[in-house]
Amino acid sequence: MKQLDSPTSPARRAILKAGLAAGTMFVAPLGALAAAPAGFDQWRDSFRAKAAAKGITDATWSRCMGRVEPDMSVFRQMRNQPEFHEQIWQYINRRVSDWRVIHGREALKKNEALFGRIERDFGVERGTLLALWGVESAYGDPLVQQNHMTPVFPSLAALAWNEPRRKAYWETELINAMKIVQRGWSTPDEMNGSWAGAMGHSQWMPEVWLNVGFDYDGDGKVSPFGRPDDALGSTAKYLINRGKWHRGEHWGYEVRAPGGGAGGSRSYAAWASAGVTRADGQPFPQPNASAQLWIPVAGGPAFLLGPNFYSVKSYNPSMNYALAICHLGDRCLGGPPFIQPFPGSERALTLAEVQEMQTRLTKAGFDTGGTDGRVGNDTMKAIKDFQTKAGLLPADGYGGLKVLARLRQGG
């Protein structure tokens, strides 16, 4: 499946993921009557021929582009993506949050039959799939769609018209978005996503939906929105085809590795013979399966990583991302936090503590964009601004026990 290589390259994944935590912004609706910026109407008229050459009908064009106005805020979003330099324990804590664990368990209960079917059909563990869903779109939370997503066609139209560095790419994605409508998979009004056009339960770009998505619920279409069946089934199929998922194997385990252990891949039984044991004291359930030792930070937790860890890494080429996904999946299924803490780390805040932090920050004049217990870019920017004003160094945007304690003292 060669077509999978491009949609999930590191550069493409960076674009895909950039928009999920973006704050609410003004976007002209599809039917807006305000005048378009100079030059847009002419570009749209000329682009219509390109779309027609790719099979876009007049009816689809009228539905998607007939009265669309470009969302010019995408250029500000592109320029001003906030940068936060997180240590690995901060990265893990923010993604394996109390909010995601609690809502992940609720999402699993609500979709128990679906996850069971996926496990039978594909052999992909429910925890891993659940965690990918939680990190990519907060389990399809409608409030995330409402508060942090914007209409796809105004965004892609602006980029295709006026972003010169990757003009051909944005034009192609705009046409791909129209193809989704033309196939009856979605409607222009339903298609909300990131400023870059990533959308749906799995936050895929239109090209990825067209190339990777498949009709898992049998209703005759591939649905990025609504029921999660198609998105989760497609993700499971992706992990098998691109990630070479091993049916029946766990991603790996936190271990104790005296002396660090040797490198390379070997069986769990061989690792055990070399003195590497599970941190929880339990035996390795599949001693003949293979794994590699990874110690992310000296003095922190160590892990034996099986092939399915690297299957997750094929979804996003970051070791930290893969570890967060695998750990969140375990936590949603009742597993404990890591037994060996990372050096210098704090425990993650509880949901109530995050909400208290957001409430106190907002009252102090640092807008977090809401007090729902989810930490996105709005909350991280508010934390960073508060840290800077309060002289809390480093001003890294991480909301932990130290920030909460200072807020409780009145800043």
In 262-366, the DSSP E strands lie at 265-267, 277-278, 290-294, 302-305
Compute the distance between CA of residue 59 and CA of residue 32 in angstroms, rounded to an integer: 19
Q: What is the DSSP letter of 185?
A: S
- 275 domain residue, yes or no: yes
Compute the distance between CA of residue 229 and CA of residue 85 in angstroms, rounded to an integer: 35
Q: Where are the alpha helices (DSSP H) in 30-151?
A: 40-53, 58-65, 73-79, 88-95, 98-110, 112-122, 126-137, 142-148
Q: Are residues 169 and 219 in the same domain?
A: yes
- 335 domain residue, yes or no: no
What would the two tokens of residue 185 be? 């998979």
- 338 domain residue, yes or no: no
Q: Are residues 164 and 300 in the same domain?
A: no
Phi and psi torsions of 400, nearest 5°: -125, -160
Which residue, 300, 319, 338, sits at the end of a domain?
319
Question: What CATH number is attached to the domain comprising 235?
Answer: 1.10.8.350
- 324 domain residue, yes or no: no
Sheet holding 290-294, edge to edge: 265-267, 290-294, 302-305, 252-256, 277-278
The range of the structural domain enclosing residue 70 comes to: 2-82+150-241
Q: Are residues 132 and 154 in the same domain?
A: no
Q: What is the DSSP letter of 165?
A: G
CA–CA distances in Å: residue 174 to residues 139, 161, 214, 296 = 26, 10, 20, 40
The rounded average pLDDT for each run of 10 residues, N- to C-terminus, in the chain (411 residues) is: 32 37 32 61 96 98 96 90 84 96 98 98 98 96 81 97 94 98 97 95 97 97 96 98 97 92 87 96 97 96 98 96 98 97 96 97 95 91 96 94 95 69
Q: Are residues 296 and 170 in the same domain?
A: no
Q: Are residues 383 and 269 in the same domain?
A: no
What is the per-residue pLDDT for 26? 29
Which residue, 241, 267, 283, sits at the end of a domain?
241
Q: Are residues 382 and 399 in the same domain?
A: yes
CB 40 within 8 A of CB 72: no
- Secondary structure, 3-state, 272-287: HHCCCEECCCCCCCCC
Q: Tell me which residue has tokens 């368990």.
A: 105
- 268 domain residue, yes or no: yes
What is the per-residue pLDDT for 259? 77
Q: Are residues 133 and 172 in the same domain?
A: no
What is the per-residue pLDDT for 70? 96
- 288 domain residue, yes or no: yes
Exposure string for 95-125, b = 16+ CB within 10 A, e = fewer: bbbbbbbebbeebbeebeebbebbbeebbbb
Q: Are residues 93 and 227 in the same domain?
A: no
- 247 domain residue, yes or no: no
Q: Are residues 161 and 228 in the same domain?
A: yes
- SS3 of residue 28 by DSSP: coil
CA 269 from chain centre, in angstroms, equals 35
CB 184 within 8 A of CB 226: no
By CB neighbour count within 10 A (0-12 exposed, 13-18 middle, 19+ buried), where does 362 fall?
A: middle
Phi and psi torsions of 88, nearest 5°: -60, -40
Tell me how many domains the chain contains.
4
Q: Are residues 159 and 76 in the same domain?
A: yes
CB 252 within 8 A of CB 274: no
| Residue 58 one-letter amino acid | D
Q: Are residues 74 and 202 in the same domain?
A: yes
- 337 domain residue, yes or no: no
Compute the distance between CA of residue 71 and CA of residue 69 in angstroms, rounded to an integer: 6
What is the per-residue pLDDT for 261? 62
Which residue, 276, 295, 319, sits at the end of a domain?
319
Q: Are residues 156 and 205 in the same domain?
A: yes
CA–CA distances in Å: residue 394 to residues 7, 109, 215, 340 = 35, 40, 48, 24
| DSSP secondary structure of 215-284 | -SS-SSS--SSSSSHHHHHHHHHHHHHTT---TT--SEEEEE-GGG---SEEEHHHHHHTT-EETTSPPP
